[in-house]
Amino acid sequence: MSYYDIDDILADATKIPCRFNYNIPGLGYLEGNIGHDIKKNAKVELPLWLGRVLAIVGGDADPSSVGEDEALSFIELITPELLAPRVINAIKSGPATLDVRSINSHFYALAVKWATLFNDRELVEVLNYMLLERSQEIRNHASSIDLENLAQGRDPGTFMLTLDEFEKVIYRNSHESCKETKQWMVQK
Amino acid sequence: MNIDIDDILADLDRDTTAVDSSLISQTHNDTTILGSDGAETDKLRHITNVSPVEDFETLITHWRNERMSPELLPFPHLLMQRTLRRVQEQVEHIEVLSMGYLDDTGGSADASDSRNATLLSKLPLLGMEADLERLRFVLRSFLRCRLAKIDKYNLYLRQFNEEGAAVSLDELLSRQELEYHERHFAILLKLLNNSILRHLPPELQAVDDNDGSVKMVEEPEWTRFVFVFVSGPDPKKEQVPDPRLLVSETTGQQFYPVTIQELQEEAELAIGGIYVMRYNVVRELILENKVQLI
Protein backbone atom coordinates (compact mmCIF):
# COMPACT_ATOMS: atom_id res chain seq x y z
CA MET A 1 0.00 0.00 0.00
CA SER A 2 2.05 2.86 -1.23
CA TYR A 3 1.38 6.43 -2.16
CA TYR A 4 0.82 5.81 -5.86
CA ASP A 5 -1.15 2.57 -5.45
CA ILE A 6 -4.43 3.07 -7.30
CA ASP A 7 -6.28 0.32 -5.49
CA ASP A 8 -5.23 1.87 -2.21
CA ILE A 9 -6.53 5.25 -3.29
CA LEU A 10 -9.83 3.73 -4.36
CA ALA A 11 -10.16 1.85 -1.10
CA ASP A 12 -9.47 5.03 0.84
CA ALA A 13 -12.35 6.76 -0.90
CA THR A 14 -14.93 4.45 0.66
CA LYS A 15 -17.45 6.28 2.79
CA ILE A 16 -17.45 5.51 6.49
CA PRO A 17 -20.21 6.68 8.85
CA CYS A 18 -18.94 9.14 11.44
CA ARG A 19 -20.41 11.13 14.31
CA PHE A 20 -19.17 14.61 15.11
CA ASN A 21 -18.14 15.41 18.66
CA TYR A 22 -18.18 19.19 18.25
CA ASN A 23 -20.13 21.99 16.75
CA ILE A 24 -18.00 23.26 13.94
CA PRO A 25 -18.97 26.33 11.98
CA GLY A 26 -18.79 26.38 8.23
CA LEU A 27 -18.36 22.66 7.71
CA GLY A 28 -21.95 22.10 6.69
CA TYR A 29 -20.94 21.09 3.19
CA LEU A 30 -19.90 17.72 4.53
CA GLU A 31 -23.56 17.11 5.28
CA GLY A 32 -24.73 18.55 2.02
CA ASN A 33 -26.10 21.92 3.21
CA ILE A 34 -23.50 24.42 2.20
CA GLY A 35 -23.03 27.50 4.32
CA HIS A 36 -24.43 26.00 7.51
CA ASP A 37 -22.65 24.81 10.63
CA ILE A 38 -22.18 21.21 11.54
CA LYS A 39 -23.88 20.20 14.77
CA LYS A 40 -22.60 18.01 17.53
CA ASN A 41 -23.68 14.37 17.17
CA ALA A 42 -24.45 14.87 13.51
CA LYS A 43 -24.01 11.68 11.54
CA VAL A 44 -22.05 12.13 8.35
CA GLU A 45 -20.60 9.73 5.83
CA LEU A 46 -16.98 10.65 5.23
CA PRO A 47 -14.40 9.02 2.99
CA LEU A 48 -11.90 7.00 4.94
CA TRP A 49 -8.95 9.20 4.07
CA LEU A 50 -10.65 12.14 5.77
CA GLY A 51 -12.29 10.21 8.59
CA ARG A 52 -9.05 8.52 9.56
CA VAL A 53 -7.26 11.79 10.17
CA LEU A 54 -10.17 13.48 11.91
CA ALA A 55 -10.69 10.52 14.20
CA ILE A 56 -7.12 10.83 15.45
CA VAL A 57 -6.65 14.57 15.64
CA GLY A 58 -8.22 15.99 18.74
CA GLY A 59 -9.98 19.27 19.31
CA ASP A 60 -7.80 20.49 22.18
CA ALA A 61 -8.19 24.04 21.06
CA ASP A 62 -11.94 23.76 21.31
CA PRO A 63 -13.24 25.33 24.51
CA SER A 64 -15.79 22.57 25.08
CA SER A 65 -13.08 19.98 25.65
CA VAL A 66 -11.38 21.81 28.50
CA GLY A 67 -13.44 20.20 31.21
CA GLU A 68 -12.99 16.68 29.93
CA ASP A 69 -10.25 14.28 30.90
CA GLU A 70 -9.10 13.43 27.43
CA ALA A 71 -9.12 15.57 24.39
CA LEU A 72 -11.94 14.22 22.30
CA SER A 73 -11.22 13.74 18.62
CA PHE A 74 -13.23 15.70 16.07
CA ILE A 75 -15.26 12.75 14.99
CA GLU A 76 -15.98 9.24 16.08
CA LEU A 77 -15.91 6.44 13.56
CA ILE A 78 -18.93 4.18 13.60
CA THR A 79 -18.44 0.57 12.54
CA PRO A 80 -19.36 0.54 8.87
CA GLU A 81 -21.76 -1.84 7.23
CA LEU A 82 -19.00 -3.94 5.72
CA LEU A 83 -17.68 -4.96 9.14
CA ALA A 84 -21.03 -5.34 10.88
CA PRO A 85 -21.49 -8.39 13.13
CA ARG A 86 -23.72 -9.81 10.41
CA VAL A 87 -20.78 -9.90 8.00
CA ILE A 88 -18.32 -11.20 10.58
CA ASN A 89 -20.66 -14.07 11.40
CA ALA A 90 -21.09 -14.84 7.72
CA ILE A 91 -17.32 -15.04 7.36
CA LYS A 92 -17.01 -17.33 10.35
CA SER A 93 -19.66 -19.67 9.04
CA GLY A 94 -18.35 -20.11 5.53
CA PRO A 95 -15.74 -17.89 3.90
CA ALA A 96 -15.82 -19.66 0.56
CA THR A 97 -19.49 -19.03 -0.09
CA LEU A 98 -19.42 -15.39 0.94
CA ASP A 99 -20.01 -12.81 -1.75
CA VAL A 100 -17.23 -10.45 -0.75
CA ARG A 101 -17.62 -8.29 -3.80
CA SER A 102 -21.19 -7.35 -2.96
CA ILE A 103 -20.11 -6.22 0.51
CA ASN A 104 -17.29 -4.05 -0.77
CA SER A 105 -14.98 -4.40 -3.71
CA HIS A 106 -12.00 -3.45 -1.54
CA PHE A 107 -12.99 -5.52 1.43
CA TYR A 108 -9.55 -6.69 2.55
CA ALA A 109 -7.85 -3.35 2.15
CA LEU A 110 -10.53 -1.65 4.21
CA ALA A 111 -10.68 -4.34 6.85
CA VAL A 112 -6.92 -4.18 7.26
CA LYS A 113 -7.03 -0.40 7.60
CA TRP A 114 -9.80 -0.68 10.13
CA ALA A 115 -7.98 -3.31 12.14
CA THR A 116 -4.82 -1.17 12.18
CA LEU A 117 -6.78 1.85 13.30
CA PHE A 118 -8.39 0.11 16.26
CA ASN A 119 -5.84 -2.63 17.01
CA ASP A 120 -8.63 -5.11 16.54
CA ARG A 121 -7.13 -8.52 17.25
CA GLU A 122 -10.34 -10.42 16.77
CA LEU A 123 -10.98 -8.92 13.37
CA VAL A 124 -7.47 -9.86 12.27
CA GLU A 125 -8.05 -13.46 13.27
CA VAL A 126 -11.29 -13.60 11.35
CA LEU A 127 -9.60 -12.08 8.33
CA ASN A 128 -6.72 -14.55 8.50
CA TYR A 129 -9.12 -17.44 8.60
CA MET A 130 -11.12 -15.99 5.74
CA LEU A 131 -8.11 -15.35 3.54
CA LEU A 132 -6.72 -18.84 4.09
CA GLU A 133 -10.01 -20.53 3.35
CA ARG A 134 -10.72 -18.46 0.31
CA SER A 135 -7.22 -18.70 -1.09
CA GLN A 136 -7.55 -22.46 -1.22
CA GLU A 137 -10.62 -22.01 -3.31
CA ILE A 138 -8.88 -19.43 -5.49
CA ARG A 139 -5.97 -21.77 -5.95
CA ASN A 140 -8.31 -24.56 -7.07
CA HIS A 141 -9.95 -22.31 -9.59
CA ALA A 142 -6.63 -20.96 -10.83
CA SER A 143 -4.93 -24.30 -11.40
CA SER A 144 -7.67 -26.21 -13.15
CA ILE A 145 -7.70 -24.23 -16.30
CA ASP A 146 -10.38 -24.59 -18.81
CA LEU A 147 -8.32 -22.89 -21.48
CA GLU A 148 -10.95 -23.07 -24.18
CA ASN A 149 -13.68 -21.66 -22.04
CA LEU A 150 -11.53 -18.81 -20.83
CA ALA A 151 -10.26 -17.98 -24.27
CA GLN A 152 -13.82 -17.42 -25.38
CA GLY A 153 -14.47 -15.25 -22.39
CA ARG A 154 -17.14 -17.50 -20.94
CA ASP A 155 -18.25 -17.35 -17.36
CA PRO A 156 -15.72 -19.26 -15.26
CA GLY A 157 -18.17 -19.83 -12.43
CA THR A 158 -20.04 -18.04 -9.76
CA PHE A 159 -17.18 -18.09 -7.27
CA MET A 160 -15.14 -15.86 -9.51
CA LEU A 161 -17.82 -13.21 -9.30
CA THR A 162 -17.49 -12.99 -5.55
CA LEU A 163 -13.80 -12.06 -5.45
CA ASP A 164 -12.77 -8.66 -4.22
CA GLU A 165 -10.03 -6.63 -5.90
CA PHE A 166 -7.22 -8.05 -3.79
CA GLU A 167 -8.32 -11.61 -4.43
CA LYS A 168 -8.60 -10.88 -8.10
CA VAL A 169 -4.94 -9.94 -8.19
CA ILE A 170 -4.06 -13.20 -6.45
CA TYR A 171 -6.25 -15.14 -8.81
CA ARG A 172 -4.87 -13.47 -11.89
CA ASN A 173 -1.27 -14.03 -10.88
CA SER A 174 -1.64 -17.64 -9.91
CA HIS A 175 -3.76 -18.34 -12.94
CA GLU A 176 -1.21 -16.79 -15.27
CA SER A 177 1.63 -18.75 -13.76
CA CYS A 178 -0.30 -22.02 -13.94
CA LYS A 179 -1.29 -21.35 -17.50
CA GLU A 180 2.20 -20.42 -18.61
CA THR A 181 3.76 -23.41 -16.91
CA LYS A 182 1.31 -25.72 -18.65
CA GLN A 183 1.90 -24.05 -21.97
CA TRP A 184 5.62 -24.42 -21.57
CA MET A 185 5.31 -28.08 -20.64
CA VAL A 186 3.11 -28.86 -23.61
CA GLN A 187 4.58 -26.72 -26.34
CA LYS A 188 8.29 -27.07 -25.57
CA MET B 1 40.40 -51.95 14.07
CA ASN B 2 39.76 -49.28 11.55
CA ILE B 3 42.29 -46.62 10.84
CA ASP B 4 40.79 -43.51 9.36
CA ILE B 5 43.07 -42.44 6.54
CA ASP B 6 40.70 -40.00 4.83
CA ASP B 7 42.90 -37.01 5.54
CA ILE B 8 45.97 -38.73 4.11
CA LEU B 9 44.03 -39.63 1.00
CA ALA B 10 42.80 -36.07 0.72
CA ASP B 11 46.40 -34.88 0.88
CA LEU B 12 47.34 -37.21 -1.97
CA ASP B 13 44.32 -36.07 -3.96
CA ARG B 14 45.31 -32.49 -3.61
CA ASP B 15 48.78 -33.21 -4.98
CA THR B 16 47.48 -34.90 -8.10
CA THR B 17 44.84 -32.29 -8.77
CA ALA B 18 47.38 -29.57 -8.40
CA VAL B 19 49.24 -30.97 -11.40
CA ASP B 20 46.40 -31.05 -13.85
CA SER B 21 44.08 -28.42 -12.44
CA SER B 22 44.25 -26.63 -15.75
CA LEU B 23 43.06 -29.79 -17.47
CA ILE B 24 40.09 -30.07 -15.14
CA SER B 25 39.14 -26.50 -15.64
CA GLN B 26 39.34 -27.03 -19.38
CA THR B 27 36.83 -29.83 -19.28
CA HIS B 28 34.53 -27.73 -17.16
CA ASN B 29 34.87 -24.83 -19.45
CA ASP B 30 32.32 -25.96 -21.99
CA THR B 31 29.61 -24.46 -19.83
CA THR B 32 31.19 -21.06 -19.84
CA ILE B 33 31.53 -18.22 -22.15
CA LEU B 34 35.20 -18.23 -22.73
CA GLY B 35 35.30 -21.96 -23.21
CA SER B 36 37.83 -21.97 -25.98
CA ASP B 37 39.89 -19.18 -24.64
CA GLY B 38 42.26 -21.24 -22.56
CA ALA B 39 45.10 -18.79 -22.68
CA GLU B 40 43.10 -16.06 -21.06
CA THR B 41 41.74 -18.40 -18.41
CA ASP B 42 45.21 -19.30 -17.31
CA LYS B 43 46.35 -15.74 -17.31
CA LEU B 44 43.48 -14.70 -15.11
CA ARG B 45 43.97 -17.49 -12.64
CA HIS B 46 47.54 -16.53 -12.09
CA ILE B 47 46.74 -12.95 -11.44
CA THR B 48 43.51 -12.76 -9.49
CA ASN B 49 42.52 -16.34 -8.86
CA VAL B 50 39.16 -15.99 -10.58
CA SER B 51 37.87 -17.98 -13.47
CA PRO B 52 35.19 -17.25 -16.04
CA VAL B 53 33.27 -20.29 -14.82
CA GLU B 54 33.09 -19.01 -11.29
CA ASP B 55 32.31 -15.51 -12.45
CA PHE B 56 29.45 -16.75 -14.53
CA GLU B 57 28.04 -18.71 -11.62
CA THR B 58 28.33 -15.67 -9.36
CA LEU B 59 26.63 -13.59 -11.99
CA ILE B 60 23.75 -16.04 -12.16
CA THR B 61 23.42 -15.90 -8.38
CA HIS B 62 23.42 -12.11 -8.44
CA TRP B 63 20.84 -12.13 -11.21
CA ARG B 64 18.54 -14.48 -9.35
CA ASN B 65 18.85 -12.56 -6.10
CA GLU B 66 18.22 -9.27 -7.83
CA ARG B 67 15.13 -10.60 -9.57
CA MET B 68 13.54 -11.90 -6.39
CA SER B 69 14.59 -9.45 -3.70
CA PRO B 70 12.36 -6.49 -2.86
CA GLU B 71 15.27 -4.08 -2.46
CA LEU B 72 18.02 -2.95 -4.77
CA LEU B 73 21.13 -4.98 -4.01
CA PRO B 74 24.65 -3.52 -4.21
CA PHE B 75 26.10 -3.50 -7.68
CA PRO B 76 28.88 -6.10 -8.22
CA HIS B 77 31.38 -3.64 -9.65
CA LEU B 78 34.41 -5.88 -10.15
CA LEU B 79 32.41 -8.82 -11.42
CA MET B 80 30.66 -6.69 -14.02
CA GLN B 81 33.92 -5.10 -15.12
CA ARG B 82 35.44 -8.50 -15.73
CA THR B 83 32.39 -9.89 -17.45
CA LEU B 84 31.94 -6.94 -19.75
CA ARG B 85 35.57 -7.06 -20.73
CA ARG B 86 35.25 -10.76 -21.51
CA VAL B 87 32.20 -10.17 -23.65
CA GLN B 88 34.15 -7.59 -25.60
CA GLU B 89 37.09 -9.91 -26.05
CA GLN B 90 34.95 -12.83 -27.06
CA VAL B 91 33.17 -10.77 -29.70
CA GLU B 92 36.53 -9.86 -31.18
CA HIS B 93 37.71 -13.43 -30.90
CA ILE B 94 34.73 -14.73 -32.84
CA GLU B 95 35.22 -12.11 -35.48
CA VAL B 96 38.85 -13.07 -35.95
CA LEU B 97 37.91 -16.74 -36.19
CA SER B 98 35.23 -16.16 -38.82
CA MET B 99 37.78 -14.24 -40.87
CA GLY B 100 39.78 -17.43 -40.92
CA TYR B 101 36.82 -19.38 -42.31
CA LEU B 102 36.45 -16.89 -45.09
CA ASP B 103 39.97 -17.60 -46.22
CA ASP B 104 39.53 -21.34 -45.93
CA THR B 105 36.43 -21.58 -48.06
CA GLY B 106 37.94 -19.31 -50.67
CA GLY B 107 40.90 -21.61 -51.14
CA SER B 108 39.39 -25.10 -51.06
CA ALA B 109 35.73 -24.92 -51.82
CA ASP B 110 35.97 -27.40 -54.71
CA ALA B 111 36.81 -30.58 -52.79
CA SER B 112 33.86 -32.06 -50.93
CA ASP B 113 36.09 -33.48 -48.22
CA SER B 114 37.52 -30.18 -47.21
CA ARG B 115 34.08 -28.60 -47.30
CA ASN B 116 32.95 -31.23 -44.88
CA ALA B 117 35.86 -30.37 -42.67
CA THR B 118 35.04 -26.69 -42.63
CA LEU B 119 31.43 -27.53 -41.89
CA LEU B 120 32.50 -29.56 -38.90
CA SER B 121 34.88 -26.95 -37.66
CA LYS B 122 32.10 -24.42 -37.68
CA LEU B 123 30.50 -26.14 -34.73
CA PRO B 124 32.80 -24.47 -32.19
CA LEU B 125 31.99 -21.13 -33.74
CA LEU B 126 28.26 -21.77 -33.43
CA GLY B 127 28.75 -22.86 -29.86
CA MET B 128 30.68 -19.72 -29.01
CA GLU B 129 28.09 -17.48 -30.57
CA ALA B 130 25.20 -19.18 -28.78
CA ASP B 131 27.08 -19.03 -25.52
CA LEU B 132 27.82 -15.37 -25.96
CA GLU B 133 24.16 -14.74 -26.65
CA ARG B 134 23.28 -16.54 -23.42
CA LEU B 135 25.61 -14.45 -21.33
CA ARG B 136 24.41 -11.26 -22.94
CA PHE B 137 20.83 -12.18 -22.16
CA VAL B 138 21.64 -12.65 -18.49
CA LEU B 139 23.49 -9.34 -18.40
CA ARG B 140 20.66 -7.47 -20.09
CA SER B 141 18.03 -9.01 -17.85
CA PHE B 142 20.08 -8.21 -14.77
CA LEU B 143 20.55 -4.58 -15.70
CA ARG B 144 16.95 -4.06 -16.77
CA CYS B 145 15.74 -5.53 -13.52
CA ARG B 146 17.94 -3.07 -11.66
CA LEU B 147 16.68 -0.17 -13.76
CA ALA B 148 13.09 -1.12 -12.96
CA LYS B 149 13.92 -1.04 -9.27
CA ILE B 150 15.71 2.28 -9.61
CA ASP B 151 12.54 3.67 -11.16
CA LYS B 152 10.42 2.30 -8.37
CA TYR B 153 12.58 3.43 -5.46
CA ASN B 154 13.55 6.72 -7.04
CA LEU B 155 12.82 8.83 -3.99
CA TYR B 156 13.96 6.25 -1.50
CA LEU B 157 17.37 6.00 -3.16
CA ARG B 158 17.82 9.72 -2.95
CA GLN B 159 17.95 9.41 0.81
CA PHE B 160 21.21 7.52 0.44
CA ASN B 161 22.77 10.67 -0.93
CA GLU B 162 22.21 12.50 2.30
CA GLU B 163 24.60 12.44 5.22
CA GLY B 164 24.49 9.52 7.62
CA ALA B 165 23.32 6.91 5.17
CA ALA B 166 24.49 3.36 5.86
CA VAL B 167 25.54 2.68 2.28
CA SER B 168 26.65 5.31 -0.14
CA LEU B 169 24.90 5.47 -3.44
CA ASP B 170 28.13 4.89 -5.37
CA GLU B 171 28.42 1.40 -3.93
CA LEU B 172 24.81 0.59 -4.58
CA LEU B 173 24.72 1.73 -8.19
CA SER B 174 27.07 1.65 -11.11
CA ARG B 175 28.19 4.86 -12.77
CA GLN B 176 25.67 4.54 -15.57
CA GLU B 177 22.89 3.71 -13.15
CA LEU B 178 23.76 6.75 -11.07
CA GLU B 179 23.44 8.93 -14.12
CA TYR B 180 20.16 7.26 -15.08
CA HIS B 181 18.83 7.78 -11.58
CA GLU B 182 19.79 11.46 -11.48
CA ARG B 183 18.44 12.36 -14.88
CA HIS B 184 15.34 10.24 -14.73
CA PHE B 185 14.45 11.86 -11.43
CA ALA B 186 15.04 15.30 -12.87
CA ILE B 187 12.79 14.57 -15.84
CA LEU B 188 10.05 13.12 -13.65
CA LEU B 189 10.23 16.05 -11.29
CA LYS B 190 10.00 18.49 -14.16
CA LEU B 191 6.91 16.73 -15.51
CA LEU B 192 5.17 16.68 -12.14
CA ASN B 193 6.13 20.26 -11.42
CA ASN B 194 4.93 21.61 -14.72
CA SER B 195 1.68 19.67 -14.85
CA ILE B 196 0.39 19.64 -11.28
CA LEU B 197 2.66 20.69 -8.48
CA ARG B 198 2.99 24.37 -9.34
CA HIS B 199 -0.76 24.79 -8.99
CA LEU B 200 -0.66 23.54 -5.42
CA PRO B 201 0.02 25.61 -2.30
CA PRO B 202 3.75 25.77 -1.52
CA GLU B 203 3.62 23.47 1.51
CA LEU B 204 2.11 20.70 -0.62
CA GLN B 205 4.63 20.90 -3.43
CA ALA B 206 7.20 18.45 -2.06
CA VAL B 207 7.25 15.05 -3.70
CA ASP B 208 9.01 13.39 -0.79
CA ASP B 209 6.74 14.44 2.04
CA ASN B 210 6.66 11.75 4.72
CA ASP B 211 4.76 13.70 7.36
CA GLY B 212 1.38 13.56 5.67
CA SER B 213 -1.26 10.94 6.25
CA VAL B 214 0.34 8.68 3.65
CA LYS B 215 4.08 8.40 3.19
CA MET B 216 5.16 9.55 -0.23
CA VAL B 217 8.56 7.88 -0.25
CA GLU B 218 8.06 4.27 -1.10
CA GLU B 219 10.38 2.00 0.82
CA PRO B 220 11.19 -1.52 -0.28
CA GLU B 221 8.79 -4.05 1.11
CA TRP B 222 11.12 -5.38 3.78
CA THR B 223 8.72 -7.96 5.09
CA ARG B 224 7.86 -9.57 1.78
CA PHE B 225 8.06 -13.35 1.73
CA VAL B 226 10.78 -14.85 -0.43
CA PHE B 227 11.84 -18.38 -1.22
CA VAL B 228 15.36 -19.06 -0.06
CA PHE B 229 17.77 -21.90 -0.63
CA VAL B 230 20.30 -22.30 2.17
CA SER B 231 23.50 -23.04 0.29
CA GLY B 232 25.83 -22.59 3.23
CA PRO B 233 29.38 -21.27 2.99
CA ASP B 234 31.15 -21.87 -0.28
CA PRO B 235 32.63 -25.39 0.00
CA LYS B 236 35.29 -24.64 -2.60
CA LYS B 237 36.91 -21.98 -0.52
CA GLU B 238 38.60 -23.55 2.45
CA GLN B 239 38.24 -21.12 5.27
CA VAL B 240 37.71 -20.96 8.97
CA PRO B 241 34.39 -22.42 10.06
CA ASP B 242 31.56 -19.96 9.83
CA PRO B 243 30.95 -18.42 13.26
CA ARG B 244 27.25 -18.03 12.54
CA LEU B 245 26.84 -21.65 11.65
CA LEU B 246 25.55 -23.81 14.48
CA VAL B 247 25.09 -27.54 14.72
CA SER B 248 21.74 -28.83 15.80
CA GLU B 249 21.80 -31.08 18.83
CA THR B 250 18.90 -33.24 17.80
CA THR B 251 19.65 -34.02 14.16
CA GLY B 252 23.35 -33.19 13.88
CA GLN B 253 22.64 -30.94 10.92
CA GLN B 254 24.25 -27.57 10.39
CA PHE B 255 21.94 -24.60 10.44
CA TYR B 256 21.84 -20.81 10.72
CA PRO B 257 19.79 -19.44 13.57
CA VAL B 258 17.61 -16.47 12.61
CA THR B 259 15.17 -14.48 14.66
CA ILE B 260 11.82 -13.35 13.36
CA GLN B 261 11.31 -9.96 14.99
CA GLU B 262 7.54 -9.66 14.90
CA LEU B 263 6.84 -13.03 16.45
CA GLN B 264 9.87 -13.17 18.76
CA GLU B 265 10.53 -16.55 17.30
CA GLU B 266 13.73 -18.43 16.51
CA ALA B 267 13.97 -20.38 13.29
CA GLU B 268 16.64 -22.77 12.06
CA LEU B 269 17.74 -22.64 8.46
CA ALA B 270 19.29 -26.05 7.81
CA ILE B 271 21.89 -26.23 5.07
CA GLY B 272 20.43 -27.51 1.83
CA GLY B 273 16.89 -26.64 2.84
CA ILE B 274 14.37 -24.46 1.05
CA TYR B 275 12.31 -22.05 3.10
CA VAL B 276 9.75 -19.32 2.69
CA MET B 277 10.95 -16.47 4.86
CA ARG B 278 10.43 -12.79 5.34
CA TYR B 279 13.09 -10.87 3.48
CA ASN B 280 14.29 -8.83 6.45
CA VAL B 281 14.92 -12.05 8.37
CA VAL B 282 17.36 -13.47 5.84
CA ARG B 283 18.71 -10.21 4.41
CA GLU B 284 22.12 -10.41 6.07
CA LEU B 285 22.61 -14.01 5.06
CA ILE B 286 21.81 -13.08 1.48
CA LEU B 287 24.33 -10.25 1.48
CA GLU B 288 26.92 -12.63 2.90
CA ASN B 289 26.03 -15.11 0.18
CA LYS B 290 25.14 -17.89 2.60
CA VAL B 291 21.63 -18.08 1.30
CA GLN B 292 20.24 -17.68 -2.20
CA LEU B 293 16.90 -16.46 -3.37
CA ILE B 294 15.05 -18.70 -5.76
Task: Tell whether B140 and B277 lie within a shared domain.
Answer: no
Task: Tell whether B132 and B242 lie within a shared domain.
Answer: no
pLDDT for the residue numbered B234: 64
pLDDT for the residue numbered B41: 41
Task: Tell whether B119 and B254 lie within a shared domain.
Answer: no
pLDDT for the residue numbered A101: 84
Contact A126, A91 (CB under 8 A): yes
Most confident of B75-79, B117-121, B268-272: B75-79
Question: Looking at the predicted structure, is the pLDDT value of residue B155 above 90?
Answer: no
Domain end, chosen from B103, B136, B152, is at: B152
Is residue B141, in this structure, part of any structural domain at all? yes
| DSSP state, residue B267 | E
Q: State which residues form the domain around B239.
A: 225-293
Mutate to test the interface with B, among A1, A2, A10 (most CBs of B within 10 A): A2
Closest-CA residue in chain B for A51?
B213
Question: Chain B residues contacting A, CB < 8 Å?
Answer: 213-218
Higher-pLDDT residue of A33, B122: B122
Closest Cα in chain B, distance from residue A155 (Å): 33
Higher-pLDDT residue of A109, B121: A109
pLDDT for the residue numbered B115: 65
* pLDDT single digits (tens) B50-77: 788 888 988 999 999 999 999 888 899 8
B72 phi and psi, to 5 degrees? -85, 120
Closest Cα in chain A, distance from residue B199 (Å): 19
What would the mean pLDDT of B273-290 be, rounded to a whole number?
86
Question: Looking at the predicted structure, is the pLDDT value of residue B28 above 60?
Answer: no
pLDDT-derived band at B36 (thresholds 50, 70, 90) equals: very low
Is residue B247, in this structure, part of any structural domain at all? yes
CATH architecture of A81-188: Up-down Bundle (1.20)
Domain containing B130 — which CATH number?
1.20.58.1030
Partner residue opposite A53 with nearest CB, options B213, B216, B217: B213
What SS3 state is found at B73? coil
pLDDT-derived band at B92 (thresholds 50, 70, 90) equals: very high
Closest-CA residue in chain B for A5?
B218
Query: Would you say the ipTM is above 0.85?
Result: no
**With an 8 Å Cβ cutoff, are B218 and A3 in contact?**
yes
Is the C-alpha dihedral spanning B88, B89, B90, B96 positive or negative? positive
Partner residue opposite B216 with nearest CB, options A3, A49, A52: A3
Contact B256, B268 (CB under 8 A): yes
pLDDT-derived band at B138 (thresholds 50, 70, 90) equals: very high
Domain end, chosen from B152, B186, B217, is at: B152
Q: Closest by alpha carbon to B255, among B237, B239, B267?
A: B267
Higher-pLDDT residue of B229, B266: B229
In this prediction the pTM is 0.76
Q: Which residues of A touch B204 (CB under 8 A)?
A: none
Domain count, chain B: 2
In sequence order, the β-bridge partners of residue A47 are: A15
Mean pLDDT in consecutive groups of 10 residues from the start of chain A, 188 residues: 81 86 75 73 84 76 47 80 84 85 86 86 89 87 65 63 84 89 86
CB atoms within 10 A of CB A154: 10
Q: Closest by alpha carbon to A14, among A40, A52, A43?
A: A52
Task: Tell whether B113 and B12 lie within a shared domain.
Answer: yes
Domain end, chosen from B136, B152, B168, is at: B152
Is residue B97, in this structure, part of any structural domain at all? yes
Q: Which residues of B touch A3 (CB under 8 A)?
A: 214-218
Burial of B136 (0-12, 13-18, 19+ CB in 10 A): middle
pLDDT for the residue numbered A25: 79
What would the mean pLDDT of B71-94 be, rounded to a whole number?
90
Q: Enter the CATH code of domain A1-78.
A: 1.20.58.2050
Distance set, CA B38 to CA A112, B24, B277 (Å): 60, 12, 42
Residue ranges of chain A assigned to CATH 1.20.58.2050: 1-78, 81-188
Is residue B215, in this structure, part of any structural domain at all? no
Question: Chain A residues contacting B, CB < 8 Å?
Answer: 2-4, 49, 52-53
pLDDT-derived band at B16 (thresholds 50, 70, 90) equals: low
**With an 8 Å Cβ cutoff, are B218 and A52 in contact?**
no
How would you classify the pairing of strands A15-20 and A43-47?
antiparallel
- Count the alpha carbons within 13 Å of A149 in the hemisphere toward its beta carbon: 7
The pLDDT > 90 percentage for chain B reads: 18
Is residue B264, in this structure, part of any structural domain at all? yes
pLDDT for the residue numbered B15: 64
**With an 8 Å Cβ cutoff, are B215 and A49 in contact?**
no
pLDDT for the residue numbered A90: 87
- Which residues have a Cβ under 8 Å from the Cβ of A98 and sit 6 or more positions away? A90, A91, A130, A134, A162
pLDDT for the residue numbered B49: 58
Q: How far is A50 from A20, CA to CA, in rounded Å?
A: 13
pLDDT for the residue numbered A148: 53
Higher-pLDDT residue of A120, B115: A120
**With an 8 Å Cβ cutoff, are A52 and B215 in contact?**
no
Task: Tell whether B23 and B126 lie within a shared domain.
Answer: yes
Task: Tell whether B142 and B230 lie within a shared domain.
Answer: no
pLDDT for the residue numbered B190: 92
Task: Tell whether B34 and B130 lie within a shared domain.
Answer: yes
In sequence order, the β-bridge partners of residue A58 are: A73
Question: Looking at the predicted structure, is the pLDDT value of residue B139 above 90?
Answer: yes
Separation of CA A146 from chain center: 31
Is residue B174, in this structure, part of any structural domain at all? no
pLDDT-derived band at B26 (thresholds 50, 70, 90) equals: very low
**With an 8 Å Cβ cutoff, are B215 and A3 in contact?**
yes
pLDDT-derived band at B19 (thresholds 50, 70, 90) equals: very low
